[in-house]
A and B are shown apart, each in its own frame.
Chain A
Amino acid sequence: MSRTAEFDRLFDKHRRPVHAYLLGRSGNPDLAADLLQETFLKVWKRLDSVLVVTPENRRYYILSMAKSVAADSFRRHRPSEVPLSAVAEVESSGSCTADLSTLDDAIMRLPEELRTILTMHVLGDMTSAEVGLALDRPAGTVRYQLHEARRRLAKILGIGGEE
């Protein structure tokens, strides 16, 4: 298989979870797309070392590259970051007519940690165990944080079923 074909296979298979991670970290769709490109540029440049990794671990290897790309970018220009414990919950809008733009806004206003886990799960199609493996934390913690993210969103959107 040619170098380009190998890269295309990796890009098609892993861009979704990597993008989900970067969107969660940055909370900014444009920046996430830029960081996705930077991450896969790194993959392209280091293709030989990526291909040495076993197929089942490649996702985590590429995600570790994404972490490093995000860290470099945030050192230059840090997106607004607030510690999870210091974030007050946003009051419910009281409206039941939640639409996608309200949800989008609510997700982007979640604390980075909760947002990243939520986007990796919902957008990246990753299980709690997979998210835990990628972020180096127990699956139980991921499940709790997912529940917390959903609870906050339900409250903001004024819809029930997450208490």
Chain B
Amino acid sequence: MNQLDQLLNAWADTRQISPIQASAIRQEIVGTVEMPSRKWWTELFASVTTSANFSYVTWPATSRPAGLESRG
């Protein structure tokens, strides 16, 4: 490996996105709360549209948001 290669490799190490920076970027994007999956929404809407009583919603039991109790 010649001198330029060694310098370029060392340069690449200094210019990489650091794990801390990567983690911050990832956190900005995803946020701290995971969005409910499409399947969850599908189940939720299905429970609304098939229910004769629209006064309450049966939350899908598989991934009910914390703090929300089913009224069913």
Selecting from A8-16, A70-78, A79-87, A127-135, the interface stretch reads A8-16
The smallest beta-carbon distance between A85 and chain B, in angstroms, is 24
In the complex, A65 has a CB within 8 A of chain B: no
Evaluate contact between B17 and A15: CB separation under 8 angstroms.
yes
In the complex, A153 has a CB within 8 A of chain B: yes
Evaluate contact between B15 and A29: CB separation under 8 angstroms.
yes
In the complex, B50 has a CB within 8 A of chain A: no
Determine the residue in chain A with the shortest Cβ distance to B26: A11
A150 to B28, CA, bound (A): 36
Give residues 72-127 of A contacting B (CB, 8 Å): 98, 100, 103-104, 107, 119, 122-123
Give residues 1-58 of B contacting A (CB, 8 Å): 2-4, 7-12, 14-17, 21-22, 25-26, 28-30, 34-35, 37-38
Give B contacts to A, CB under 8 Å: 2-4, 7-12, 14-17, 21-22, 25-26, 28-30, 34-35, 37-38
